[in-house]
Structure 1
Amino acid sequence: MVLITGATGNYGKSTIDFLLQKGFSSSNIVALVRNEEKASGLKEKGIAVRVGDYDNYTQLVEAFEGIDKLLLISGSDMVNRDKQHQNAVNAAKEAGVNHIIYTSFERKNETETSPITFVSATHIATENCLKSSGLDYTILRNSLYMDMLPMFFGDKVVESGIFLPAGDTKAAFAVRMDMAEATANILMTEGHENKTYNFSNSENVSIPEMAEIISEVVGKEIPYHSPSQEVYVETLTKANVPSEYIGMFAGFSAAIKQGEFTVEHSDLEKILGRKPTTAKEFLTKVYAS
Protein backbone atom coordinates (compact mmCIF):
# COMPACT_ATOMS: atom_id res chain seq x y z
CA MET A 1 0.00 0.00 0.00
CA VAL A 2 1.32 3.43 -1.03
CA LEU A 3 0.35 6.70 0.63
CA ILE A 4 0.81 10.09 -1.05
CA THR A 5 0.90 13.16 1.17
CA GLY A 6 -0.16 16.54 -0.21
CA ALA A 7 -2.39 14.59 -2.57
CA THR A 8 -4.44 17.57 -3.72
CA GLY A 9 -1.35 19.65 -4.54
CA ASN A 10 0.31 19.76 -7.95
CA TYR A 11 3.11 17.29 -7.22
CA GLY A 12 1.00 14.80 -5.29
CA LYS A 13 -1.92 14.84 -7.70
CA SER A 14 0.39 14.43 -10.70
CA THR A 15 2.21 11.51 -9.07
CA ILE A 16 -1.10 9.76 -8.43
CA ASP A 17 -2.20 10.34 -12.04
CA PHE A 18 1.05 8.83 -13.33
CA LEU A 19 0.66 5.80 -11.05
CA LEU A 20 -2.81 5.18 -12.46
CA GLN A 21 -1.67 5.73 -16.06
CA LYS A 22 1.09 3.16 -15.56
CA GLY A 23 -1.37 0.53 -14.33
CA PHE A 24 -0.92 0.81 -10.58
CA SER A 25 -4.18 -0.18 -8.93
CA SER A 26 -6.16 2.62 -7.30
CA SER A 27 -7.01 0.18 -4.50
CA ASN A 28 -3.32 0.25 -3.51
CA ILE A 29 -3.15 4.07 -3.28
CA VAL A 30 -4.06 6.14 -0.24
CA ALA A 31 -4.22 9.94 -0.45
CA LEU A 32 -3.46 12.09 2.58
CA VAL A 33 -5.22 15.47 2.54
CA ARG A 34 -5.85 18.26 5.01
CA ASN A 35 -9.23 19.16 3.53
CA GLU A 36 -11.39 16.20 2.52
CA GLU A 37 -13.75 18.45 0.57
CA LYS A 38 -10.98 19.06 -1.98
CA ALA A 39 -10.46 15.33 -2.52
CA SER A 40 -13.67 14.46 -4.36
CA GLY A 41 -11.76 13.94 -7.61
CA LEU A 42 -9.47 11.43 -5.93
CA LYS A 43 -12.39 9.51 -4.49
CA GLU A 44 -13.97 9.34 -7.94
CA LYS A 45 -10.82 7.55 -9.13
CA GLY A 46 -11.30 4.89 -6.45
CA ILE A 47 -8.57 6.18 -4.17
CA ALA A 48 -8.97 5.97 -0.40
CA VAL A 49 -8.67 9.36 1.28
CA ARG A 50 -7.37 9.92 4.80
CA VAL A 51 -7.25 13.24 6.59
CA GLY A 52 -4.01 14.31 8.21
CA ASP A 53 -2.05 17.43 9.04
CA TYR A 54 1.73 17.59 9.51
CA ASP A 55 1.10 19.52 12.74
CA ASN A 56 -1.08 16.77 14.22
CA TYR A 57 1.12 13.83 15.20
CA THR A 58 -1.68 11.57 16.45
CA GLN A 59 -3.64 12.13 13.27
CA LEU A 60 -0.59 11.20 11.18
CA VAL A 61 -0.01 7.95 13.06
CA GLU A 62 -3.61 6.92 12.39
CA ALA A 63 -3.38 7.94 8.74
CA PHE A 64 -0.16 5.97 8.17
CA GLU A 65 -1.49 2.68 9.60
CA GLY A 66 -1.17 -0.18 7.09
CA ILE A 67 1.08 1.77 4.72
CA ASP A 68 4.21 0.19 3.22
CA LYS A 69 5.61 3.09 1.16
CA LEU A 70 5.05 6.74 2.05
CA LEU A 71 5.68 9.62 -0.33
CA LEU A 72 6.49 12.54 1.95
CA ILE A 73 6.06 15.70 -0.12
CA SER A 74 7.76 18.62 1.60
CA GLY A 75 5.40 21.08 3.23
CA SER A 76 4.90 24.69 2.20
CA ASP A 77 5.01 26.19 5.71
CA MET A 78 8.52 27.65 5.62
CA VAL A 79 8.44 28.56 9.32
CA ASN A 80 7.21 25.28 10.82
CA ARG A 81 7.99 22.56 8.30
CA ASP A 82 11.15 21.35 10.05
CA LYS A 83 9.03 20.18 13.00
CA GLN A 84 6.24 19.08 10.65
CA HIS A 85 8.57 16.79 8.72
CA GLN A 86 9.91 15.33 11.97
CA ASN A 87 6.32 14.61 12.98
CA ALA A 88 5.72 12.79 9.70
CA VAL A 89 8.89 10.68 9.94
CA ASN A 90 8.30 9.75 13.58
CA ALA A 91 4.63 9.00 12.95
CA ALA A 92 5.55 6.78 10.01
CA LYS A 93 7.94 4.84 12.20
CA GLU A 94 5.34 4.39 14.94
CA ALA A 95 2.71 3.30 12.40
CA GLY A 96 4.99 0.64 10.91
CA VAL A 97 5.74 2.24 7.53
CA ASN A 98 8.68 0.50 5.86
CA HIS A 99 9.92 3.03 3.31
CA ILE A 100 9.71 6.84 3.00
CA ILE A 101 10.33 8.62 -0.30
CA TYR A 102 11.01 12.30 0.39
CA THR A 103 10.96 15.25 -2.02
CA SER A 104 14.06 17.18 -1.02
CA PHE A 105 15.95 19.94 -2.82
CA GLU A 106 19.04 20.22 -5.02
CA ARG A 107 21.86 22.32 -3.53
CA LYS A 108 25.63 22.52 -3.23
CA ASN A 109 26.19 25.03 -0.41
CA GLU A 110 24.82 23.57 2.82
CA THR A 111 26.11 26.38 5.05
CA GLU A 112 24.27 29.45 6.31
CA THR A 113 26.05 31.49 3.64
CA SER A 114 23.76 29.99 1.00
CA PRO A 115 21.33 32.56 -0.46
CA ILE A 116 18.61 29.89 -0.29
CA THR A 117 19.26 28.61 3.20
CA PHE A 118 15.65 29.57 3.98
CA VAL A 119 14.70 26.64 1.73
CA SER A 120 17.60 24.21 2.04
CA ALA A 121 17.98 24.16 5.84
CA THR A 122 14.74 22.25 6.38
CA HIS A 123 15.56 19.75 3.66
CA ILE A 124 18.98 19.06 5.17
CA ALA A 125 17.41 18.53 8.60
CA THR A 126 14.73 16.22 7.17
CA GLU A 127 17.30 14.15 5.26
CA ASN A 128 19.28 13.71 8.48
CA CYS A 129 16.11 12.77 10.33
CA LEU A 130 15.31 10.12 7.72
CA LYS A 131 18.81 8.66 7.78
CA SER A 132 18.73 8.30 11.56
CA SER A 133 15.16 6.94 11.69
CA GLY A 134 16.03 3.33 10.96
CA LEU A 135 13.48 3.27 8.13
CA ASP A 136 14.32 2.67 4.50
CA TYR A 137 14.39 5.98 2.67
CA THR A 138 14.77 7.42 -0.81
CA ILE A 139 15.74 11.08 -1.10
CA LEU A 140 14.76 12.95 -4.26
CA ARG A 141 16.84 16.10 -4.57
CA ASN A 142 14.60 18.06 -6.90
CA SER A 143 16.07 20.95 -8.84
CA LEU A 144 14.28 24.28 -8.97
CA TYR A 145 11.08 23.74 -10.95
CA MET A 146 11.35 25.16 -14.44
CA ASP A 147 7.64 25.88 -13.97
CA MET A 148 8.61 28.72 -11.60
CA LEU A 149 10.72 30.63 -14.11
CA PRO A 150 7.82 32.49 -15.79
CA MET A 151 6.96 33.87 -12.36
CA PHE A 152 10.58 34.97 -11.89
CA PHE A 153 10.55 36.57 -15.36
CA GLY A 154 7.29 38.44 -14.67
CA ASP A 155 4.13 38.82 -16.72
CA LYS A 156 5.63 41.65 -18.81
CA VAL A 157 8.53 39.63 -20.17
CA VAL A 158 7.40 39.94 -23.80
CA GLU A 159 7.00 43.70 -23.48
CA SER A 160 10.02 44.61 -21.38
CA GLY A 161 12.33 41.57 -21.23
CA ILE A 162 13.86 39.70 -18.30
CA PHE A 163 15.16 41.65 -15.29
CA LEU A 164 16.80 39.19 -12.91
CA PRO A 165 20.14 39.18 -11.03
CA ALA A 166 20.99 35.62 -12.09
CA GLY A 167 24.04 36.32 -14.25
CA ASP A 168 24.83 33.96 -17.10
CA THR A 169 25.47 30.78 -15.09
CA LYS A 170 23.89 27.67 -16.54
CA ALA A 171 21.43 25.56 -14.56
CA ALA A 172 19.63 22.25 -15.04
CA PHE A 173 16.06 23.23 -14.22
CA ALA A 174 13.46 20.49 -14.73
CA VAL A 175 9.68 20.54 -14.99
CA ARG A 176 7.56 19.34 -12.08
CA MET A 177 5.62 16.85 -14.23
CA ASP A 178 8.82 14.99 -15.13
CA MET A 179 9.76 14.79 -11.46
CA ALA A 180 6.28 13.52 -10.56
CA GLU A 181 6.46 10.81 -13.25
CA ALA A 182 9.89 9.71 -12.04
CA THR A 183 8.54 9.64 -8.48
CA ALA A 184 5.69 7.38 -9.61
CA ASN A 185 8.23 5.05 -11.25
CA ILE A 186 10.14 4.81 -7.96
CA LEU A 187 6.97 4.09 -5.99
CA MET A 188 6.09 1.25 -8.39
CA THR A 189 9.47 -0.48 -8.36
CA GLU A 190 11.97 -1.90 -5.91
CA GLY A 191 15.68 -1.32 -5.41
CA HIS A 192 15.54 2.36 -4.38
CA GLU A 193 16.06 1.82 -0.66
CA ASN A 194 18.54 4.15 1.06
CA LYS A 195 19.47 5.97 -2.13
CA THR A 196 19.62 9.65 -3.00
CA TYR A 197 18.64 10.73 -6.52
CA ASN A 198 19.37 14.03 -8.22
CA PHE A 199 16.28 15.10 -10.18
CA SER A 200 17.71 17.74 -12.49
CA ASN A 201 17.61 18.15 -16.24
CA SER A 202 20.10 16.52 -18.59
CA GLU A 203 21.10 19.92 -19.98
CA ASN A 204 22.31 23.11 -18.32
CA VAL A 205 20.86 26.31 -19.76
CA SER A 206 21.49 29.93 -18.76
CA ILE A 207 18.90 32.69 -18.40
CA PRO A 208 20.41 34.58 -21.40
CA GLU A 209 19.92 31.42 -23.48
CA MET A 210 16.33 31.24 -22.27
CA ALA A 211 15.81 34.84 -23.34
CA GLU A 212 17.02 33.83 -26.81
CA ILE A 213 14.57 30.92 -26.89
CA ILE A 214 11.66 33.16 -25.89
CA SER A 215 12.76 35.65 -28.56
CA GLU A 216 12.49 32.93 -31.20
CA VAL A 217 9.09 31.86 -29.91
CA VAL A 218 7.49 35.33 -29.82
CA GLY A 219 9.28 36.69 -32.88
CA LYS A 220 10.94 39.68 -31.21
CA GLU A 221 14.08 40.26 -29.20
CA ILE A 222 13.62 39.69 -25.48
CA PRO A 223 16.44 41.52 -23.69
CA TYR A 224 17.96 40.14 -20.51
CA HIS A 225 19.37 42.46 -17.87
CA SER A 226 21.13 41.11 -14.78
CA PRO A 227 21.37 43.94 -12.24
CA SER A 228 23.12 43.90 -8.90
CA GLN A 229 21.15 42.48 -5.96
CA GLU A 230 20.86 45.98 -4.51
CA VAL A 231 19.42 47.50 -7.68
CA TYR A 232 17.09 44.53 -8.13
CA VAL A 233 15.68 44.74 -4.60
CA GLU A 234 15.33 48.53 -4.84
CA THR A 235 13.54 48.31 -8.20
CA LEU A 236 11.04 45.69 -7.04
CA THR A 237 10.45 47.52 -3.77
CA LYS A 238 9.59 50.70 -5.67
CA ALA A 239 7.22 48.63 -7.82
CA ASN A 240 5.39 47.59 -4.62
CA VAL A 241 6.23 43.89 -5.00
CA PRO A 242 5.60 42.17 -1.62
CA SER A 243 8.81 41.80 0.40
CA GLU A 244 8.47 38.01 0.75
CA TYR A 245 8.47 37.67 -3.04
CA ILE A 246 11.42 39.99 -3.42
CA GLY A 247 13.41 37.93 -0.93
CA MET A 248 12.53 34.69 -2.71
CA PHE A 249 13.31 36.00 -6.21
CA ALA A 250 16.56 37.60 -5.08
CA GLY A 251 17.66 34.52 -3.14
CA PHE A 252 17.02 32.08 -5.95
CA SER A 253 18.62 34.43 -8.48
CA ALA A 254 21.77 34.61 -6.37
CA ALA A 255 21.77 30.81 -6.06
CA ILE A 256 21.47 30.43 -9.84
CA LYS A 257 24.34 32.87 -10.34
CA GLN A 258 26.49 30.97 -7.83
CA GLY A 259 25.91 27.68 -9.67
CA GLU A 260 23.72 25.98 -7.09
CA PHE A 261 21.66 24.35 -9.86
CA THR A 262 24.45 23.56 -12.30
CA VAL A 263 24.88 19.79 -12.43
CA GLU A 264 27.17 17.34 -14.16
CA HIS A 265 25.06 14.29 -13.37
CA SER A 266 21.33 13.74 -13.05
CA ASP A 267 19.29 10.61 -12.28
CA LEU A 268 16.07 11.99 -13.73
CA GLU A 269 16.62 10.72 -17.28
CA LYS A 270 17.49 7.23 -16.01
CA ILE A 271 14.43 6.98 -13.77
CA LEU A 272 12.12 8.41 -16.45
CA GLY A 273 13.53 6.17 -19.16
CA ARG A 274 13.59 9.14 -21.53
CA LYS A 275 15.03 12.62 -21.92
CA PRO A 276 13.46 15.18 -19.58
CA THR A 277 11.51 18.09 -21.05
CA THR A 278 13.99 20.63 -22.41
CA ALA A 279 14.01 24.35 -21.69
CA LYS A 280 13.13 25.00 -25.32
CA GLU A 281 10.14 22.65 -25.20
CA PHE A 282 8.88 24.16 -21.97
CA LEU A 283 9.36 27.82 -22.94
CA THR A 284 7.80 27.24 -26.35
CA LYS A 285 4.71 25.78 -24.70
CA VAL A 286 4.46 28.67 -22.24
CA TYR A 287 5.09 31.59 -24.58
CA ALA A 288 3.74 30.38 -27.94
CA SER A 289 0.28 31.48 -26.91
Structure 2
Amino acid sequence: MKQILVTGATGELGTTVVETLLKTMKAENISVLTRKEESKTEFEQKGLKAFIGQYSDVESLEKAMDNVNTVLLISSGDQGDRMQEHKNVINTAKKKGVKNIAYTSRSLKDKNTLVNKLMMEHFLTEDYIKESGLKYIIFRNALYMDVLPLFVGKHVFEKGILQPAENGKVAYVLKAEQAEAMANVLMNENFENQTFNFTGSDAFSFYDVASVLTDLSGKEVIYKTIEVEPFKKIMLNNGIPEPMVKKIVDFNLDIKNGQESTVTNELQHYLGRKPKDLKEGLKLLFNL
Protein backbone atom coordinates (compact mmCIF):
# COMPACT_ATOMS: atom_id res chain seq x y z
CA MET A 1 0.00 0.00 0.00
CA LYS A 2 1.29 3.44 -0.91
CA GLN A 3 1.97 5.91 1.88
CA ILE A 4 2.01 9.26 0.07
CA LEU A 5 3.44 12.48 1.48
CA VAL A 6 2.00 15.63 -0.09
CA THR A 7 4.20 18.67 0.51
CA GLY A 8 2.73 22.15 0.30
CA ALA A 9 -0.55 20.55 1.29
CA THR A 10 -2.35 23.76 2.25
CA GLY A 11 -1.83 25.53 -1.08
CA GLU A 12 -4.49 25.41 -3.79
CA LEU A 13 -2.73 22.64 -5.68
CA GLY A 14 -1.94 20.53 -2.60
CA THR A 15 -5.43 20.92 -1.17
CA THR A 16 -7.08 19.54 -4.32
CA VAL A 17 -4.54 16.72 -4.57
CA VAL A 18 -5.37 15.65 -1.01
CA GLU A 19 -9.14 15.95 -1.58
CA THR A 20 -8.87 13.77 -4.69
CA LEU A 21 -6.68 11.17 -2.96
CA LEU A 22 -9.23 10.91 -0.14
CA LYS A 23 -11.92 9.80 -2.59
CA THR A 24 -10.26 6.42 -3.02
CA MET A 25 -7.45 6.18 -0.46
CA LYS A 26 -7.67 5.70 3.27
CA ALA A 27 -6.79 8.88 5.14
CA GLU A 28 -4.18 7.01 7.18
CA ASN A 29 -2.24 6.35 3.96
CA ILE A 30 -1.84 10.07 3.26
CA SER A 31 0.77 12.23 5.00
CA VAL A 32 0.88 15.99 4.60
CA LEU A 33 3.43 18.71 5.30
CA THR A 34 2.13 22.10 6.40
CA ARG A 35 3.56 25.24 8.00
CA LYS A 36 0.45 26.00 10.04
CA GLU A 37 -0.58 24.42 13.33
CA GLU A 38 -4.29 24.99 12.64
CA SER A 39 -3.97 23.22 9.29
CA LYS A 40 -2.18 20.31 10.96
CA THR A 41 -5.11 19.95 13.36
CA GLU A 42 -7.65 20.07 10.51
CA PHE A 43 -5.80 17.36 8.59
CA GLU A 44 -5.52 15.16 11.67
CA GLN A 45 -9.24 15.48 12.32
CA LYS A 46 -9.77 13.95 8.87
CA GLY A 47 -7.49 11.04 9.80
CA LEU A 48 -4.40 12.10 7.86
CA LYS A 49 -0.86 12.05 9.22
CA ALA A 50 0.10 15.72 9.43
CA PHE A 51 3.48 17.30 10.11
CA ILE A 52 4.62 20.86 10.72
CA GLY A 53 7.58 21.70 8.54
CA GLN A 54 9.03 23.42 5.52
CA TYR A 55 11.51 22.68 2.76
CA SER A 56 14.30 24.61 4.45
CA ASP A 57 13.98 22.51 7.65
CA VAL A 58 15.56 19.12 6.96
CA GLU A 59 14.70 17.74 10.39
CA SER A 60 11.00 18.37 9.79
CA LEU A 61 11.25 16.71 6.37
CA GLU A 62 12.81 13.62 7.92
CA LYS A 63 9.95 13.29 10.41
CA ALA A 64 7.34 13.73 7.69
CA MET A 65 8.93 11.02 5.54
CA ASP A 66 8.90 8.28 8.17
CA ASN A 67 7.36 5.15 6.60
CA VAL A 68 6.57 7.05 3.39
CA ASN A 69 7.25 5.41 0.03
CA THR A 70 5.99 8.18 -2.30
CA VAL A 71 6.56 11.95 -2.10
CA LEU A 72 4.83 14.64 -4.12
CA LEU A 73 7.14 17.64 -4.19
CA ILE A 74 5.04 20.68 -5.03
CA SER A 75 7.49 23.27 -6.27
CA SER A 76 8.47 26.00 -3.85
CA GLY A 77 7.81 29.68 -4.42
CA ASP A 78 10.61 31.90 -5.64
CA GLN A 79 10.94 34.00 -2.49
CA GLY A 80 13.78 31.95 -0.99
CA ASP A 81 16.48 29.61 -2.30
CA ARG A 82 14.14 27.39 -4.28
CA MET A 83 16.79 25.06 -5.67
CA GLN A 84 18.24 24.35 -2.22
CA GLU A 85 14.76 23.75 -0.83
CA HIS A 86 14.01 21.27 -3.61
CA LYS A 87 17.35 19.55 -3.05
CA ASN A 88 16.54 19.23 0.66
CA VAL A 89 13.33 17.35 -0.14
CA ILE A 90 14.99 15.09 -2.71
CA ASN A 91 18.03 14.36 -0.53
CA THR A 92 15.83 13.59 2.47
CA ALA A 93 13.63 11.28 0.41
CA LYS A 94 16.71 9.34 -0.66
CA LYS A 95 18.08 9.23 2.91
CA LYS A 96 14.77 7.99 4.34
CA GLY A 97 14.40 5.19 1.80
CA VAL A 98 11.52 6.73 -0.13
CA LYS A 99 11.10 4.86 -3.41
CA ASN A 100 9.14 7.29 -5.56
CA ILE A 101 9.10 11.05 -6.05
CA ALA A 102 6.79 13.23 -8.13
CA TYR A 103 7.46 16.86 -8.98
CA THR A 104 5.35 19.73 -10.29
CA SER A 105 7.41 21.20 -13.14
CA ARG A 106 6.34 23.33 -16.13
CA SER A 107 5.32 22.51 -19.68
CA LEU A 108 7.67 24.70 -21.71
CA LYS A 109 8.90 24.03 -25.23
CA ASP A 110 12.63 24.71 -25.00
CA LYS A 111 14.52 25.27 -21.77
CA ASN A 112 17.52 26.55 -23.74
CA THR A 113 15.66 29.60 -25.08
CA LEU A 114 13.69 30.61 -21.98
CA VAL A 115 13.58 34.31 -21.14
CA ASN A 116 12.13 33.69 -17.68
CA LYS A 117 15.18 32.30 -15.87
CA LEU A 118 13.07 31.44 -12.81
CA MET A 119 11.58 28.64 -14.92
CA MET A 120 15.05 27.15 -15.40
CA GLU A 121 14.97 26.03 -11.78
CA HIS A 122 12.21 23.59 -12.68
CA PHE A 123 14.46 21.88 -15.21
CA LEU A 124 17.41 21.92 -12.81
CA THR A 125 15.17 20.21 -10.25
CA GLU A 126 14.14 17.63 -12.84
CA ASP A 127 17.80 16.90 -13.51
CA TYR A 128 18.54 16.58 -9.80
CA ILE A 129 15.67 14.12 -9.39
CA LYS A 130 16.92 12.05 -12.32
CA GLU A 131 20.42 11.97 -10.84
CA SER A 132 19.11 10.93 -7.41
CA GLY A 133 18.27 7.38 -8.44
CA LEU A 134 14.71 7.68 -7.11
CA LYS A 135 11.90 6.45 -9.33
CA TYR A 136 10.12 9.55 -10.57
CA ILE A 137 7.12 11.06 -12.27
CA ILE A 138 7.49 14.63 -13.49
CA PHE A 139 4.35 16.65 -14.07
CA ARG A 140 5.10 19.36 -16.60
CA ASN A 141 2.09 21.56 -15.99
CA ALA A 142 0.80 24.24 -18.33
CA LEU A 143 0.39 27.80 -17.11
CA TYR A 144 -2.60 27.89 -14.81
CA MET A 145 -5.65 29.61 -16.27
CA ASP A 146 -6.18 30.91 -12.73
CA VAL A 147 -3.46 33.54 -13.31
CA LEU A 148 -5.40 35.28 -16.08
CA PRO A 149 -7.27 37.68 -13.76
CA LEU A 150 -3.84 38.80 -12.46
CA PHE A 151 -2.44 39.18 -15.97
CA VAL A 152 -5.32 41.20 -17.41
CA GLY A 153 -5.91 43.29 -14.27
CA LYS A 154 -8.88 44.42 -12.21
CA HIS A 155 -10.09 46.93 -14.81
CA VAL A 156 -10.07 44.62 -17.84
CA PHE A 157 -13.72 45.38 -18.71
CA GLU A 158 -13.04 49.11 -18.71
CA LYS A 159 -9.50 49.32 -20.05
CA GLY A 160 -9.01 46.11 -22.02
CA ILE A 161 -5.84 43.99 -22.07
CA LEU A 162 -2.36 45.41 -22.60
CA GLN A 163 0.54 42.94 -22.78
CA PRO A 164 3.77 42.54 -24.80
CA ALA A 165 2.90 38.98 -25.87
CA GLU A 166 1.85 39.63 -29.50
CA ASN A 167 -0.07 36.57 -30.78
CA GLY A 168 1.66 34.05 -28.51
CA LYS A 169 -0.56 31.23 -27.28
CA VAL A 170 -0.93 29.33 -24.02
CA ALA A 171 -2.54 25.92 -23.40
CA TYR A 172 -4.14 27.12 -20.15
CA VAL A 173 -5.49 24.65 -17.58
CA LEU A 174 -7.40 25.28 -14.36
CA LYS A 175 -5.22 24.54 -11.34
CA ALA A 176 -7.88 22.31 -9.76
CA GLU A 177 -7.97 20.07 -12.83
CA GLN A 178 -4.18 19.81 -12.86
CA ALA A 179 -4.27 18.74 -9.22
CA GLU A 180 -7.03 16.20 -9.77
CA ALA A 181 -5.15 14.56 -12.65
CA MET A 182 -1.93 14.44 -10.63
CA ALA A 183 -3.72 12.73 -7.76
CA ASN A 184 -5.15 10.16 -10.18
CA VAL A 185 -1.63 9.41 -11.42
CA LEU A 186 -0.27 9.11 -7.88
CA MET A 187 -2.99 6.62 -6.96
CA ASN A 188 -2.95 4.48 -10.07
CA GLU A 189 0.40 4.62 -11.85
CA ASN A 190 3.63 2.83 -11.10
CA PHE A 191 6.64 5.15 -11.04
CA GLU A 192 8.69 4.25 -14.09
CA ASN A 193 10.56 7.51 -14.71
CA GLN A 194 7.79 9.15 -16.72
CA THR A 195 7.30 12.77 -17.72
CA PHE A 196 3.75 13.99 -18.40
CA ASN A 197 2.88 17.23 -20.16
CA PHE A 198 -0.42 18.28 -18.60
CA THR A 199 -1.85 20.95 -20.89
CA GLY A 200 -5.18 22.18 -22.13
CA SER A 201 -6.79 20.74 -25.26
CA ASP A 202 -6.05 23.92 -27.22
CA ALA A 203 -3.84 27.01 -26.95
CA PHE A 204 -5.12 30.59 -26.84
CA SER A 205 -3.73 34.09 -27.33
CA PHE A 206 -4.72 37.23 -25.46
CA TYR A 207 -6.83 38.06 -28.52
CA ASP A 208 -8.82 34.90 -27.73
CA VAL A 209 -9.04 35.84 -24.04
CA ALA A 210 -10.37 39.30 -24.97
CA SER A 211 -12.92 37.78 -27.35
CA VAL A 212 -14.21 35.30 -24.77
CA LEU A 213 -14.45 37.98 -22.06
CA THR A 214 -16.41 40.13 -24.51
CA ASP A 215 -18.85 37.29 -25.18
CA LEU A 216 -19.27 36.44 -21.50
CA SER A 217 -19.65 40.00 -20.20
CA GLY A 218 -21.39 41.76 -23.06
CA LYS A 219 -18.74 44.48 -22.75
CA GLU A 220 -16.19 44.91 -25.53
CA VAL A 221 -12.73 43.90 -24.33
CA ILE A 222 -9.86 44.79 -26.63
CA TYR A 223 -6.36 43.34 -26.50
CA LYS A 224 -3.55 45.65 -27.52
CA THR A 225 -0.03 44.29 -27.86
CA ILE A 226 2.77 46.67 -26.93
CA GLU A 227 6.56 46.80 -27.04
CA VAL A 228 8.42 45.87 -23.86
CA GLU A 229 9.93 49.24 -22.88
CA PRO A 230 6.69 51.26 -23.02
CA PHE A 231 4.95 48.42 -21.18
CA LYS A 232 7.55 48.50 -18.41
CA LYS A 233 7.13 52.27 -18.09
CA ILE A 234 3.35 51.96 -17.75
CA MET A 235 3.66 49.22 -15.12
CA LEU A 236 6.21 51.18 -13.08
CA ASN A 237 4.09 54.33 -13.29
CA ASN A 238 1.18 52.28 -11.96
CA GLY A 239 3.20 51.53 -8.85
CA ILE A 240 4.11 47.93 -9.62
CA PRO A 241 7.54 47.07 -8.12
CA GLU A 242 10.37 46.60 -10.60
CA PRO A 243 11.02 42.90 -9.74
CA MET A 244 7.35 42.11 -10.38
CA VAL A 245 7.41 44.04 -13.67
CA LYS A 246 10.40 41.95 -14.77
CA LYS A 247 8.51 38.75 -13.93
CA ILE A 248 5.47 39.87 -15.91
CA VAL A 249 7.60 40.86 -18.90
CA ASP A 250 9.54 37.58 -18.87
CA PHE A 251 6.33 35.54 -18.77
CA ASN A 252 4.99 37.54 -21.71
CA LEU A 253 8.12 37.15 -23.79
CA ASP A 254 8.07 33.39 -23.33
CA ILE A 255 4.40 33.39 -24.33
CA LYS A 256 5.26 35.50 -27.39
CA ASN A 257 8.02 33.01 -28.32
CA GLY A 258 5.67 30.00 -28.16
CA GLN A 259 7.10 28.46 -25.00
CA GLU A 260 3.62 27.91 -23.49
CA SER A 261 1.83 26.59 -26.59
CA THR A 262 2.41 22.83 -26.29
CA VAL A 263 -0.85 20.84 -26.46
CA THR A 264 -1.20 17.17 -25.49
CA ASN A 265 -4.08 14.87 -24.49
CA GLU A 266 -2.26 13.53 -21.41
CA LEU A 267 -4.19 15.68 -18.93
CA GLN A 268 -7.50 14.64 -20.49
CA HIS A 269 -6.49 10.99 -20.20
CA TYR A 270 -5.69 11.15 -16.48
CA LEU A 271 -8.51 13.54 -15.69
CA GLY A 272 -10.97 11.11 -17.27
CA ARG A 273 -12.71 13.93 -19.14
CA LYS A 274 -11.90 16.88 -21.36
CA PRO A 275 -10.55 19.76 -19.25
CA LYS A 276 -12.56 22.97 -19.13
CA ASP A 277 -11.92 25.17 -22.14
CA LEU A 278 -11.12 28.87 -22.06
CA LYS A 279 -14.74 29.97 -22.03
CA GLU A 280 -15.74 27.63 -19.20
CA GLY A 281 -12.67 28.58 -17.19
CA LEU A 282 -13.04 32.34 -17.60
CA LYS A 283 -16.71 32.11 -16.69
CA LEU A 284 -15.67 30.54 -13.37
CA LEU A 285 -12.68 32.79 -12.72
CA PHE A 286 -14.50 36.06 -13.44
CA ASN A 287 -17.82 34.89 -11.97
CA LEU A 288 -19.66 35.67 -15.22
TM-score, structure 2 as length reference: 0.95
Worse overlay, 153-162 or 43-52: 43-52
Contact 1:141–1:196 at 8 Å: present in 2 too? yes
Q: Deviations over 1:48-99 (max 9, x none)?
A: 1112221122321222110011111001134401011011001001111110
Contact 1:57–1:91 at 8 Å: present in 2 too? yes
For 1:108 and 1:116, locate their aligned partners in 2 and report how far apart those are by CA, in whole Å: 13
Alpha-carbon shift at residue 168 of structure 1 (Å): 1.3
1:115 equivalent in structure 2: 115
1:147 equivalent in structure 2: 146
Instruction: Classify the secondary structure of the residue corresponding to 2:111.
Output: coil
Identity %: 36
For 2:263 and 2:82, locate their aligned partners in 1 and report how far apart those are by CA, in whole Å: 30
- Partner letter of residue 13 of structure 1? T
For 1:247 and 1:30, locate their aligned partners in 2 and report how far apart those are by CA, in whole Å: 37
1:7 equivalent in structure 2: 9
Q: Deviations over 1:208-267 (max 9, x none)?
A: 011000001110210111100111101111111122221121111111111011114241
Q: Deviations over 1:91-120 (max 9, x none)?
A: 001111110011011112323x522112x2
Q: Pairwise mapping of residues 127-206 of structure 1 onto structure 2 (< 5 A)?
A: 127-206=126-205
| RMSD value, Cα | 1.4
- Partner letter of residue 32 of structure 2? A
1:220 equivalent in structure 2: 219
Alpha-carbon shift at residue 288 of structure 1 (Å): 4.3
1:276 equivalent in structure 2: 275
1:24 equivalent in structure 2: 25
The unaligned stretches of length 5 or more in structure 1 are none
For 2:191 and 2:274, locate their aligned partners in 1 and report how far apart those are by CA, in whole Å: 20
Contact 2:114–2:120 at 8 Å: present in 1 too? no
The unaligned stretches of length 5 or more in structure 2 are none
- Partner letter of residue 115 of structure 2? P
Alpha-carbon shift at residue 173 of structure 1 (Å): 1.1
Q: Deviations over 1:156-197 (max 9, x none)?
A: 001111111111122201110011001110111133420000
**Alignment CA distance shift 1:159-1:27 (3 Å):** same
Paired residues, number: 286
- Partner letter of residue 160 of structure 2? G
- Partner letter of residue 110 of structure 1? K
Instruction: Classify the secondary structure of the residue corresponding to 1:42.
Output: helix
Answer yes or no: is 1:243 the counterpart of 2:245: no
**Alignment CA distance shift 1:137-1:161 (3 Å):** same
